[in-house]
Amino acid sequence: MEAASLHKRVVVTGLGVIASLGHNVADFWASILAGKSGVTKVSLFDAKDYSCQIGAEVRGWDATQHMDAKEVRRNDRYTHYGFCAAKQATADARLDMSQEDPERVGVIIGSGIGGMWTIEVQHKVLLERGPRRVSPFMIPSLISNMCGGLVAIELGARGPNFGVVSACSTATHAIGESLRMIRSGEADVMVCGGAEAAITPLAYAGFCSMKAMSTNNKNPEQASRPFDMNRDGFIMGEGAGILVIESLEHALARGARIYCELAGYSATCDAYHITSPDPEGKGLSLSMSRALADARVTPADIDYINAHGTSTPYNDKYETLAIKHVFGAHANKVLISSTKSMTGHLLGAAGSVEAIISIKAIETGEVPPTINLETPDPDCDLDYVPNVKRRAQVNIVLTDNLGFGGHNASLVFRKL
Residue 4 within any structural domain of the chain: no
227 and 295 inside one domain = no
Gap between the Cα atoms of 365 and 232, Å rounded:
32
232 and 273 inside one domain = no
pTM of the model: 0.97
Do 309 and 216 touch, CB atoms closer than 8 A? no
151 and 242 inside one domain = yes
What confidence category does residue 5 fall into, taking pLDDT thresholds of 50, 70 and 90?
low
At 3 the pLDDT is 41
Per-residue pLDDT at 2 exceeds 90:
no
314 and 244 inside one domain = no
304 and 375 inside one domain = yes
Inter-axis angle of helices 282-295 and 313-327, nearest 10: 50
Residue 399 β-bridge partners = 306, 411
232 and 308 inside one domain = no
Residue 5 within any structural domain of the chain: no
Gap between the Cα atoms of 334 and 343, Å rounded:
22
Residue 128 within any structural domain of the chain: yes
Residue 18 β-bridge partners = 240
Q: Which of 253, 274, 308 is the last residue of a domain?
A: 253
Which among 166, 156, 70, 71 has a CA at the least distance from the CA of 114? 166
Residue 122 within any structural domain of the chain: yes
Number of domains, the chain: 2
What confidence category does residue 7 fall into, taking pLDDT thresholds of 50, 70 and 90?
confident
Which sequence positions are flagged as catalytic? 168, 308, 345
Per-residue pLDDT at 114 exceeds 80:
yes
195 and 312 inside one domain = no
Q: How many CB atoms lie within 10 A of CB 5?
A: 12
Residue 215 within any structural domain of the chain: yes
Rounded mean pLDDT of 166-172? Answer: 98
Residue 329 within any structural domain of the chain: yes
Question: 43: which residues sit within 8 A by CB, 6+ positions away?
Answer: 57, 59
For residue 359, what are the domain limits? 264-414
248 and 268 inside one domain = no
95 and 171 inside one domain = yes
Per-residue pLDDT at 158 exceeds 50:
yes
Gap between the Cα atoms of 315 and 212, Å rounded:
11
242 and 302 inside one domain = no
Burial string for 7-24 (b: 16+ CB within 10 Å, else e) reads ebebbbbbbbbbbbbbbb
Structure confidence by residue, pLDDT tens digits, 246-287: 999 999 999 999 999 999 999 999 999 999 999 999 999 999
Q: How many helices (H) and strands (E) does the chain have?
A: 14, 13
Residue 156 within any structural domain of the chain: yes
Burial class (CB in 10 A: 0-12, 13-18, 19+), 133: exposed
Do 196 and 78 touch, CB atoms closer than 8 A? yes
Structure confidence by residue, pLDDT tens digits, 39-62: 999 999 999 999 999 999 999 999
Structure confidence by residue, pLDDT tens digits, 199-253: 999 999 999 999 999 999 999 999 999 999 999 999 999 999 999 999 999 999 9
Residue 279 within any structural domain of the chain: yes
Count CA atoms within 13 Å of residue 215 on its CB side.
Answer: 10
Structure confidence by residue, pLDDT tens digits, 284-332: 999 999 999 999 999 999 999 999 999 999 999 999 999 999 999 999 9
Per-residue pLDDT at 1 exceeds 80:
no
Q: Which of 253, 272, 305 is the last residue of a domain?
A: 253
Residue 291: give its domain's CATH number. Answer: 3.40.47.10
333 and 230 inside one domain = no
DSSP output for 37-92? ---EE--SS--TTSS--EEB---S--GGGTS-HHHHHHS-HHHHHHHHHHHHHHHH
Structure confidence by residue, pLDDT tens digits, 182-195: 999 999 999 999 99
Q: Which of 218, 253, 288 is the last residue of a domain?
A: 253
What confidence category does residue 6 fall into, taking pLDDT thresholds of 50, 70 and 90?
low
Q: In the chain, what's the furthest Cα-to-Cα distance?
A: 64
SS3 362: helix
